[in-house]
Structure 1
Amino acid sequence: MGPSGLETPPGPTHDGSFTRGRRAARRRFAAEPAPAADAYVSRRRRRTTGPTPPPVELDGRAGEDVDGPPEGDRWSTWDGADHGPVPRPDWVVTATGAVDTELGVLKTGKEADVHLVRRGVPGDAAILLAAKRYRSPEHRMFHRDAGYLQGRRVRRSRETRAMASRTDFGRDLLAGQWARAEFAALSTLWSAGLPVPYPVSVDDTEVLLEFVGDGEAAAPRLAQLRPDPDELADLWAQLRAALQGLARHGLTHGDLSAFNLLVHRGRLVMIDLPQVVDVVGNPFGPSYLGRDVDRIGAWFAARGLPDAAAAQDALLADLMGELGITGPATSHP
């Protein structure tokens, strides 16, 4: 009987033969040389996994985005962005396989920086674009934007309050609103044939614009030039026509100066239009109109425009007549 009270079955060790067999096996195993470790592993691998596969050559780009652009800094942002007016110029690259390459900064400002970007499909001709990028909330200093934003509203009262109180959320909304306001103004004015860069697209807080210049050199600003009398008279005539075109749409630039006008091969081009003002809808509209004329008129007067004061008064009167405004418009906020 076993310890549990059950009968113990008979086993092979009852006569000691099994124990003697195990001892003999141990003596034989100790006498034989041990197999090499790699041979043992090799035999085991063949039994379990088959032949040893060849070593895998690691990709030298390990850790990189091997599906990213073949060159440049990013894929084209055309897909997913809002696009400029049609018909588009023939030079606009719309292929989603195009690559954008950063070439440097063209201009820094209080609200945004302008970068030079080359866009093209690898192997094909590329174009140059100006990428205007409004800054992150902690680095933006919007210039007296409260007055410019009069008359601009968003649908949600929460967003309006956030913008008014300048929370981080409100500043993000402001940046997007500035970008889209400039894009919308440029789209309207370009479609009307006014001298502004073609707005290629807008995506969040980035506006992509036609690059105005030769090669990679941007066109000079009016402030950089010293035109002769004939050139000065021609530029003044172009400016009058441009401001009258704005007035026909109920608008004024809002921050016009010789620094916000380019001259490319003799042609005047208006830039920097995020603060464009609806002269009738904004209670400060006539004041902004008067300030625009005062500023740019003073520059032309300082460069020797004949009868500059009279020319400035005549321009302001024409613009006010176009807008249907009566009364003084020389003061500004």
Structure 2
Amino acid sequence: MPEAPPEDRLAGIDPAFITDFRASDDPDDAQRWSTWRSVEPLCRGPEPRPEWVVTSQAALDTELGILKTGKEADAFLLERAVPGSDAVGESVVLVAKRYRSSDHRTFHRAATYTEGRSVKRSRDERALKRNSTWGRQVAAGEWAISEWDALKRCWLLGLPVPYPVQIDGTELLMEWITVETDHGTDTAPRLAQTRPEPRLLASYFEQLREALAAMVADGLVHGDLSPYNVLAAGERLVIIDLPQVVDLVGNVNGMDFLLRDCTNMCTWFRARGLEVDEHALFGDLLAHAF
């Protein structure tokens, strides 16, 4: 006797007991299972972790689209969520920053930033010096690791940076810095895109000065700071793009990078009407270094 069609077999059953079943090993094309559990513990963000970090093995990572393209990496929005749940700790949107590898051509700046850094394997160090295909892959990984280490260090210092969620190869997942608008939640604008009123402008500069002072006190220099590498998240500033962070003393260019960071930022603030001086800021920061 032929088997009855599904709709006939379900007839008379309470709808509350009927589910739309999908195999748990079959995510959609734009999805993958969360990689949180597949990376080593040291590749996960520092503790105590924010309550919004999703650690469930049942979570899916869903691509939401590109956020920004850059010279060394592209940033995407990625939702990590347990299907059907929007509870805290089970659903969050993250930034996935992915560094380009073997076909990348813009790592020529690396030498000045990596002065004083060490590469774990001599084979990798030789490949980097030859700029071979493998060397460019190693370079991409080194930039990702450098930003990961810098974000962790700055976060633990209490600095205004995105929380680093995890690193997996050349992919770095981090907190999505947002603002609320009339249209809902959106990415916080870069400082360069804002026109803050005088009170907020002065507050922004003081926040920046305090953050740079804390970095310098710990021997760190951003190295590529500009109004395009700072987000204006409402009343607060958040510093981003940290792969090129250098050691103030260990890198022979450390002082030059610090002065350049001061110049870039003071130039922007002056253009908005705040009377600040890069040399005064530089001197103030150095007072925290020694």
Tell me how far apart the structure 1 counterparts of residues 152 and 47 of structure 2 sit (CA, whole Å). Answer: 9
Map of 1:67 onto structure 2:
25
1:147 equivalent in alignment to 2:107: no
User: How big is the shift at 1:139?
Assistant: 3.4
Structure number with greater CO (CA < 8 Å, separation at least 6) is 2
Map of 2:124 onto structure 1:
159
Matched to 2:73, the amino acid is: A
Seen in structure 2, the aligned counterparts of structure 1 residues 70 and 111 have a Cα distance that, compared at 3 Å, is closer
Tell me how far apart the structure 2 counterparts of residues 216 and 96 of structure 1 sit (CA, whole Å). Answer: 27
1:104 equivalent in alignment to 2:71: no
1:287 equivalent in alignment to 2:256: yes
Map of 1:198 onto structure 2:
163
User: How big is the shift at 1:72?
Assistant: 4.8
Tell me how far apart the structure 2 counterparts of residues 69 and 233 of structure 1 sit (CA, whole Å). Answer: 49
Using the TM superposition, name which of 135-144 and 209-218 deviates more.
Answer: 135-144
Q: Could you state the TM-score of these two structures normalised by the residue count of structure 1?
A: 0.75
Equivalent of residue 48 in structure 2, options 50, 65, 87: 87
- Quick check: 1:253–1:276 contact (8 Å CA) kept in 2? yes
Equivalent of residue 101 in structure 2, options 136, 141, 145: 136
Map of 2:270 onto structure 1:
301
1:161-185 per-residue CA deviation (whole Å, 9 max, x = no partner) reads 1112211111111111111111111
Map of 1:25 onto structure 2:
none
Q: Secondary structure at the match of 1:323?
A: coil
User: How big is the shift at 1:137?
Assistant: 1.8
Equivalent of residue 154 in structure 2, options 166, 179, 189: 189
Larger-gyration structure (1/2): 1
Seen in structure 2, the aligned counterparts of structure 1 residues 70 and 113 have a Cα distance that, compared at 3 Å, is closer
Seen in structure 2, the aligned counterparts of structure 1 residues 95 and 70 have a Cα distance that, compared at 3 Å, is farther
Map of 1:318 onto structure 2:
284
1:219 equivalent in alignment to 2:188: yes
Equivalent of residue 133 in structure 2, options 168, 174, 188: 168
1:121 equivalent in alignment to 2:82: yes
Q: Could you state the TM-score of these two structures normalised by the residue count of structure 2?
A: 0.85
Map of 1:252 onto structure 2:
221
1:72-104 per-residue CA deviation (whole Å, 9 max, x = no partner) reads 511111122210100100000001221011111
- Quick check: 1:111–1:143 contact (8 Å CA) kept in 2? no
Tell me how far apart the structure 2 counterparts of residues 273 and 173 of structure 1 sit (CA, whole Å). Answer: 18
Aligned length in residues: 261
- Quick check: 1:176–1:205 contact (8 Å CA) kept in 2? yes
- Quick check: 1:119–1:128 contact (8 Å CA) kept in 2? yes
Regions of 4+ moved over 3 Å: none
CA RMSD, Structure 1 to Structure 2 (Å): 2.0
Q: What is the percent sequence identity of the aligned residues? A: 52
Gaps of 5+ in 2: 6-22
Q: Secondary structure at the match of 2:279?
A: helix
Matched to 1:202, the amino acid is: I
Seen in structure 2, the aligned counterparts of structure 1 residues 236 and 143 have a Cα distance that, compared at 3 Å, is farther
Tell me how far apart the structure 2 counterparts of residues 285 and 266 of structure 1 sit (CA, whole Å). Answer: 30
Tell me how far apart the structure 1 counterparts of residues 122 and 104 of structure 2 sit (CA, whole Å). Answer: 25
User: How big is the shift at 1:66?
Assistant: 7.5
1:267-289 per-residue CA deviation (whole Å, 9 max, x = no partner) reads 00000000001111111111111
